Amino acid sequence: MPSFKTSFRVSWVDTDSAKIVHFSNYFRYFEKAEEEFYRKLGCNFDDMAEKYGIILPRVEAYCHYVSPLKFNDLVEIELSVKELREKAVKYWFKVYNKQNGRLAAEGYIVVVAADRNLGGAVKIPKEIAEKLKSYMEF
Amino acid sequence: MPSFKTSFRVSWVDTDSAKIVHFSNYFRYFEKAEEEFYRKLGCNFDDMAEKYGIILPRVEAYCHYVSPLKFNDLVEIELSVKELREKAVKYWFKVYNKQNGRLAAEGYIVVVAADRNLGGAVKIPKEIAEKLKSYMEF
Amino acid sequence: MPSFKTSFRVSWVDTDSAKIVHFSNYFRYFEKAEEEFYRKLGCNFDDMAEKYGIILPRVEAYCHYVSPLKFNDLVEIELSVKELREKAVKYWFKVYNKQNGRLAAEGYIVVVAADRNLGGAVKIPKEIAEKLKSYMEF
Amino acid sequence: MPSFKTSFRVSWVDTDSAKIVHFSNYFRYFEKAEEEFYRKLGCNFDDMAEKYGIILPRVEAYCHYVSPLKFNDLVEIELSVKELREKAVKYWFKVYNKQNGRLAAEGYIVVVAADRNLGGAVKIPKEIAEKLKSYMEF
């Protein structure tokens, strides 16, 4: 099983006047899953900056909304590595309503590795790339 | 010129620890432009619900990030209607840094017209569709 | 021990250009703790509305900021019931950096029980009041 | 008239499942008004940091909620300087529904001037203090 999973409850503040999670918050959910994923890999955004001098700007983000989430719903996000290039990685996210197993949304984020000071794209550190590889879908 | 434009300043709260606008906030900016656009058309989300019994759930959202925005930057968003189908509309957004004219990001949102009570997709009211048509790119 | 505790990590999106958690997000953290607390009591905002016909509008909110929180910090929030009146409850929140035990902020929210349809203040249901009482500080 | 005023529309994303503006967003509205106010004074948070080496951390925030705001409401915020000390300033905010003139909420933020690098409290630059003084209520 090459994917990473994390769960949490929908907060009241995540919802809007339609009584559903606001569409922009799915991107926050994606990133939250990515943060947990990095913690599991044993590093985080700050470590990347300090240890490797690398920041991870987002270059693309996409979401397809399938079935709305509401306040208090138990959400499960599944993260997998869809593409791994020298200087970029594409994460794929599936967002489920864990109570009924229904897919709520899916989408992706493309992240590039960039030099912390110069800004230009750089190679993803080998150590990190190895770890990411083990979460690739085949 | 078939596009609609609106401007505002980047708020402090929109930024993150990288000192740039958080990627999820571009989707909030897109929607903000859409809200202004509807006001200009002479209706708003609430009118749609009350007058036509229609809600406008988002089915897809995408953003390509080109050049970061920072606190206090003057932003200009250009909205145009990219596709208009019987029951759905695709808005295209270009986000500019108005001070230097540089493209910061571009992307889209696909919105479907749905029955307020039953939830199923319905036709966009003719009156609205006519107005949307005049903002289509050719 | 009459207080309720919950823990989570600071997300990247919670921070601002000063590289610290934005001051408005502490109120979101307070509410997040309140949501968890209600779940522990065996009810949630939606249950309150459906079972008792009650909504819980906020009438006051206050926070004193002591020591900033940063991305990835492990936060612990302690909630206690500071005051319990017939129609209102005042929650007190202490926000700690769990890694060093330091107080990051403390504050309160005053919530009133209101009739879901008529809007006027109503008594907190006895069953809920009993539960809240057990979390009061003396 | 020693106060500063600014207006804007309530965005959809500002609202929650109760179909009203989420209580935490009033603090974002306060800060938005503060940002506009600084622009009017001819400086902004970044100028403060670059020109004077000063950052402006928040030490207290309070809001009293009077009457809810909904999507699309036209909001007017009135900012005045309530207290001005050597190293701190207390802003008072009144939030109105501009369509009916009704007070929606009021509250305050206490901001301290701090050395950008050392973090300790420092005097508010004389030039800024003079400007702030002219917005004090008597």
- Cβ atoms < 10 Å from Cβ of C24: 21
Read off the CATH number of the domain in which C72 is found.
3.10.129.10
Beta bridge pairs of residue C80: C92
Write out chain B residues lying below 8 Å of C15, CB-based: 16-17
pLDDT at A11: 97
> How is residue D84 written in tokens?
């001005």
**How far does B68 lie from chain C, in Å, by closest CA?**
13
Residues in D whose CB is inside 8 Å of some CB of B read 9, 11-13, 28, 31-32, 35, 39, 44-46, 71-72
Question: What are the two backbone dihedrals, phi and then psi, of residue C25, each rounded to the nearest 5 degrees?
Answer: -75, -20
Task: Name subunits touching C (3+ CB pairs < 8 A).
Answer: A, B, D
C-alpha atoms less than 13 angstroms from C-alpha of C22 in its C-beta half-sphere: 25
CB contact under 8 A, B28 and A23: no
ipTM of the complex: 0.94
The whole-angstrom separation of Cα A58 and Cα D131 is 40
The whole-angstrom separation of Cα B33 and Cα B79 is 7
Write out chain A residues lying below 8 Å of D17, CB-based: 12, 15-17, 19, 70-71
Closest CA to C69 of C106, C31, C32: C106
Partner residue facing C12 (CB), from B12, B13, B17? B17
Reported confidence tier of residue B25, pLDDT bands at 50, 70, 90? very high
3-state secondary structure chain A: CCCEEEEEECCHHHECCCCCECCCHHHHHHHHHHHHHHHHHCCCHHHHHHHHCEECCEEEEEEEECCCCCCCCEEEEEEEEEEECCCEEEEEEEEEECCCCEEEEEEEEEEECEECCCCCECCCCHHHHHHHHCCECC
The answer to whether the beta carbons of residues A82 and C56 sit under 8 Å apart is no
pLDDT at D44 over 80: no
> How is residue D1 written in tokens?
């008239």
**How far does A18 lie from chain D, in Å, by closest CA?**
7
Which residue range is the domain that position D64 belongs to? 4-133
Residues in B whose CB is inside 8 Å of some CB of C read 12-13, 15-17, 19, 22, 24, 70-71
CB contact under 8 A, A64 and B60: yes
| Active centre residues of A (catalytic) | 16
What's the number of domains chain C is made of?
1
Helix, strand, or coil (residue A58): strand
pLDDT at D1 over 60: no
Partner residue facing D19 (CB), from A12, A17, A22? A17
CB contact under 8 A, B65 and A55: no
Burial class (CB in 10 A: 0-12, 13-18, 19+), C109: buried
The whole-angstrom separation of Cα D36 and Cα C86 is 41
The whole-angstrom separation of Cα B81 and Cα B109 is 10
Nearest residue of C to residue A38, measured between CA atoms? C72
Asked if residue A138 belongs to a domain, the reply is no
The angle, 0 to 180 degrees and rounded to 10, between the axes of the packed helices A126-133 and A25-41 is 110
> How is residue B43 written in tokens?
């209706």
Block mean pLDDT (10 aa), chain A, length 138: 90 95 98 95 78 90 97 96 96 97 98 88 92 86
Asked if residue C95 belongs to a domain, the reply is yes
Closest CA to B28 of D70, D71, C24, A23: A23
Nearest residue of C to residue A43, measured between CA atoms? C72
Task: Report pLDDT digits (tens) over B73-107.
Answer: 999 999 999 999 999 999 999 999 999 999 999 99
Residues in B whose CB is inside 8 Å of some CB of D read 9, 11-13, 28, 31-32, 35, 39, 44-46, 71-72
**Residue from D16, D46, D47, D115 carrying the catalytic annotation:** D16
> How is residue A138 written in tokens?
């085949």
Mean per-residue pLDDT over chain D, rounded: 93
Please count the residues of chain D: 138
First to last CA, chain A: 10
pLDDT at A82: 96
Residue with the larger pLDDT of the pair D46 and C80: C80
CB contact under 8 A, B23 and A23: no
Task: Report pLDDT digits (tens) over D75-133.
Answer: 999 999 999 999 999 999 999 999 999 999 999 999 999 998 888 899 999 989 999 99
pLDDT at B1 over 70: no
- Cβ atoms < 10 Å from Cβ of D101: 8
